[in-house]
Structure 1
C-alpha cells in the first residue's frame, strides 16, 4: 500500500502545473480607470472580460500572480449540485429563493458554455451528471428529502441505488447535465480577450484600503492610488470591510485534494458523498490518461489535527476503493462560508454602493464566482439582474443567522483567548529540517521554521488581522490563523487575507 513517502513532497496543483500565465508588471504609480478589480480569479477575470467587451476601461490588480488563489486550487465542477442544500434553502428562505439559487447556478453554467463556444476554447469541457451518494443508513432519508426538494423546484434529478463509480452505496441522488472543465485554460483565453479589449493588469500589487469620497480610490501597500468610479473586490476575502463586519459573518474552511492514477478507468460523472468526512471525486485528462481527483477532509482553517493527516486520509480512501498506481499531485484550498450559506454579492454596504464585494462561495466557486461577475457587471452597466436581491450582502435572516452568528464568534473568541494563554516549550534544537514549531522567545509566542538547508526563520505568531495566534500547517508549510483564515508563508509573508501586512520577524540569538 502507498504510504506518506509516495506522496509528493510539496503541494502543487494540477491546474497550475499544466498551463502558464504571463507575468504582469507591478503598479508603480497612481492611475485613473473606470472600474478597478482586485483579485485575479474566476470572478475578477470574468468581470474584466464582460466589462471590457462593453468598452469599459478596466484595471485589474492582484497581490501575487493571476489565478494563484482559490481558482487555481479548485476542483472545477460547474454544477448546481452544491451538496444537500435545496431542502435547507426551502426551509430557510422559501421555495422561490431556493429556485433562484438553482437558476443562478445554471445561468452561470450557460455563460461559461456560451463563452467557450464563442471563442472556441479548448479547456477540457465535458457535460457530466453529478451524484450525491451515501453508504450510511442515517443519510438515506436525507437524500429522499432532498429529492423532494428537487421535485418541488423542478430540478431534473433521480433517486437511484447505484451509480457508475464502483463503490458501496445505499442511495444516490443524481442531478443531470452538469459539467466540468480546466478552469485555467478557460480563463487564460478570457484574459487574452480582455487585454485585447484594453484591460490593464498589474501583478504583485496589494490593495490595503479604499478612500470613499465622491468616487472610490484604492490605496496599495506601496501607496499608489487607483482613482475609479467602481471597485470590485474579487479577492476572495474582502480587503475593505466598509463596516460591513464581514469577519463576523463568515468562517474559513480548508479542503484537501490528491491527484492519483489508478488501475481503473474512470467511469465518468462527478461525485460527492452526503456524510462526513466529505469525499468528492472527479477525473481530469493528463497526457491521455485518467487522473483521479479525490477531495475532502474539510475543517476550519488553523484548527484540528496535523494537516498532513488529511492528505493521508484521502490517500487511504483512494487506495481502499480504487487502488493507487501513482501519486501525482496534492494541494489544498480554502473558502469562506456565510452564516446562511448564500454568497455575499453586491455593494459592500448600503452607503458605499460603488464598492462591490463577492465572497462566501462555500467551495462552489465556478458557478458562484461566474454569477457574481455577471451580477456586479450588470449593476455597473445599469442592467437588471434577477439574482441581485438574493445575494445582497446587506441581508440578514433571523434563522439560521442569529444562532450561527453567536456560535461563529464564540469560536473566534475561544481561539483568541486560548492562543494567548497557550504554554509552549518546544525546543528549537530538536527541530527537523523542513518543519516548524511554536515556542516562546523572551516571553513572546514565536513560530520557528527550519528550512531544508537548516536555516531558521522566526516570526511573531500574532496575526496582523485581529490579533489571534497562528498555527503551523505542516501539509502546506504555512502559518494559518484559526479565527478568520489569514495565511502566511513560512517566513511570515501574507498568502491569503484578510490580513494585509506580514507577520513581525523575530531575531534569534
Structure 2
C-alpha cells in the first residue's frame, strides 16, 4: 500500500496565495519545485519582477520523491556517461553538479534553512564478485577525469565484495529545503503562487501570456521548470518517463550508517540506501527498482522487493512509508536547458535525471539565457 513519501511526513508548511486576477512580470516560472525555486532565486537577484506559479504546494511534486542525496556523479554511473561523451564533457557535468551541491550548502547557511543538510561520503559497492568490474570501471574513469574516488575498507551491516568512496557529498531533506528557499526569496519582486495551474501559454512576438483558472500573467519570458514541459514540444520525444520506488523503515536499534550507499546486486539490480535522522528518530531509506512507465504490471511488487531487501540487510522493526515517483530521462543523458526555439520567449529546463545537483546549473543558465539572447536553441548545460 502506497503512502506519502518520507519528506512529506517531515515537511514544513507553506501558505503562499493562489493567483486571483491579472498581473504582469518580467519572467514567469511554471513549477515550484527545486528547479523553479532555484531559478527564481537566481533571477530575482538580477531582474525586477519574477513570478512563480505552482499547481500544488511548493516542493510537493517531483521534488518530494527524491532520496535527498546530493552527489557529483550520476545515478547511472560515470561509465554510462563516458560511453556517450569524452572526458572533457564528463568533467563539465561533474563540475556543474559540484557547483549545485555547494550552492545548496551556501543557501542553507545564508537563509538558515532547517532542512538537515550535512556533508557526507558517497559509497559504491558490489555485493558479489560478479559486479566487481562495474566498481573497477568507475575507479578507472574517475582517475581519467581526476575525480577523487578511492577504494575503501569500511565495515557495513552486510558483506560486500568491493567498495569505493567519494567524500564531501551531501544529504538533505529536499522538501524542507525547497520550502525554506521559497520563503526566503518571497518578496515584492519574487511573487510565489500555490494551487495555481497554467492552463494555456501564449508565445507572442514580444511577450508571453500565461493563463490560469482565475487570471493571467503577462511576461517578457516564461520558464518551464516542470519535470516535462507543459503542452507539446519536440523535446518531449527525447525524454523517457521512468518510475522508481522508495520505502522508509523504523529500526529496532540505532545503526552507524552515515553516508550515501549504492550497491550492485544480482541481475544488475542497484539499491540506494541511507538513514535520515530528525527529532531523535533514525529511519532507514531504501530506493530502487526503476523501470520505464508502462513496463511493470505490479507496482506493489517493487515495493515488496524493497521491503524484503531492507529486512534482509538491516534491523527493521516496521516499514512506515512507501512511495513511488516519476521522472524523465533524456536519451543522451544531458539535461535540456535553454530556449524552446530560436526566436521563442519561452525557456525550458527538463531532463534533469536524478533531479538534484543539476539545479544550480539550471538556475545559473536561466539567468545567463535571459541576459544572452544569442544562445542556440536548446543549448545544453555542458
Q: Is TM more than 0.5 here?
A: yes
- Tell me how far apart the structure 2 counterparts of residues 306 and 90 of structure 1 sit (CA, whole Å): 33
Among 113, 119, 140, the alignment partner of 1:121 is 113
- Is 1:373 the equivalent of 2:363? yes
Structure with max Cα Rg: 1
1:266 alignment counterpart: 256
1:325 alignment counterpart: 317
* CA deviations over 1:42-92 (Å, ceiling 9, x no partner): 011111122222353011111122111110111111111323532333332
Among 174, 180, 185, the alignment partner of 1:189 is 180
- Is 1:230 the equivalent of 2:221? yes
- Tell me how far apart the structure 2 counterparts of residues 175 and 93 of structure 1 sit (CA, whole Å): 22
- Tell me how far apart the structure 1 counterparts of residues 7 and 90 of structure 2 sit (CA, whole Å): 32
- Tell me how far apart the structure 2 counterparts of residues 69 and 225 of structure 1 sit (CA, whole Å): 23
1:472 alignment counterpart: none
Distance 1:148 1:51, change over 3 A: same
Distance 1:10 1:90, change over 3 A: closer
The answer as to whether partners of 1:144 and 1:159 remain within 8 angstroms in 2 is no
Distance 1:28 1:84, change over 3 A: closer
The answer as to whether partners of 1:52 and 1:197 remain within 8 angstroms in 2 is no
**Unaligned ranges ≥5, structure 1:** 1-8, 393-509
Among 221, 239, 242, the alignment partner of 1:250 is 239
- Is 1:166 the equivalent of 2:157? yes
The answer as to whether partners of 1:70 and 1:334 remain within 8 angstroms in 2 is yes
The answer as to whether partners of 1:81 and 1:175 remain within 8 angstroms in 2 is no
- Look up the SS of the partner of 1:211 in the other structure: strand
- Is 1:294 the equivalent of 2:298? no
- Is 1:137 the equivalent of 2:129? yes
- Tell me how far apart the structure 1 counterparts of residues 249 and 112 of structure 2 sit (CA, whole Å): 29
- Is 1:12 the equivalent of 2:1? no
Distance 1:84 1:18, change over 3 A: closer
The answer as to whether partners of 1:217 and 1:225 remain within 8 angstroms in 2 is no
- Tell me how far apart the structure 2 counterparts of residues 18 and 109 of structure 1 sit (CA, whole Å): 22
Distance 1:296 1:339, change over 3 A: same
**Unaligned ranges ≥5, structure 2:** none
- Look up the SS of the partner of 1:26 in the other structure: coil
- Look up the SS of the partner of 2:324 in the other structure: strand
Distance 1:314 1:201, change over 3 A: same
- Tell me how far apart the structure 2 counterparts of residues 164 and 118 of structure 1 sit (CA, whole Å): 36
TM-score normalised to the size of structure 1? 0.70
The answer as to whether partners of 1:254 and 1:298 remain within 8 angstroms in 2 is yes
Deviation at 1:390, TM superposition (A): 4.2
The answer as to whether partners of 2:68 and 2:172 remain within 8 angstroms in 1 is yes
* CA deviations over 1:228-271 (Å, ceiling 9, x no partner): 11111011110044xx4123211111111111122341321111
- Tell me how far apart the structure 2 counterparts of residues 326 and 88 of structure 1 sit (CA, whole Å): 36
Among 302, 306, 319, the alignment partner of 2:298 is 306
1:420 alignment counterpart: none
The answer as to whether partners of 1:342 and 1:391 remain within 8 angstroms in 2 is yes
- Is 1:391 the equivalent of 2:371? no
2:202 alignment counterpart: 211
| Alignment of structure 1 residues 464-479 onto 2, 5 Å | none
The alignment yields a C-alpha RMSD, in angstroms, of 2.3
- Tell me how far apart the structure 1 counterparts of residues 343 and 374 of structure 2 sit (CA, whole Å): 20
- Tell me how far apart the structure 1 counterparts of residues 49 and 12 of structure 2 sit (CA, whole Å): 26
The answer as to whether partners of 1:215 and 1:227 remain within 8 angstroms in 2 is no
1:85 alignment counterpart: 77
The answer as to whether partners of 2:59 and 2:179 remain within 8 angstroms in 1 is no
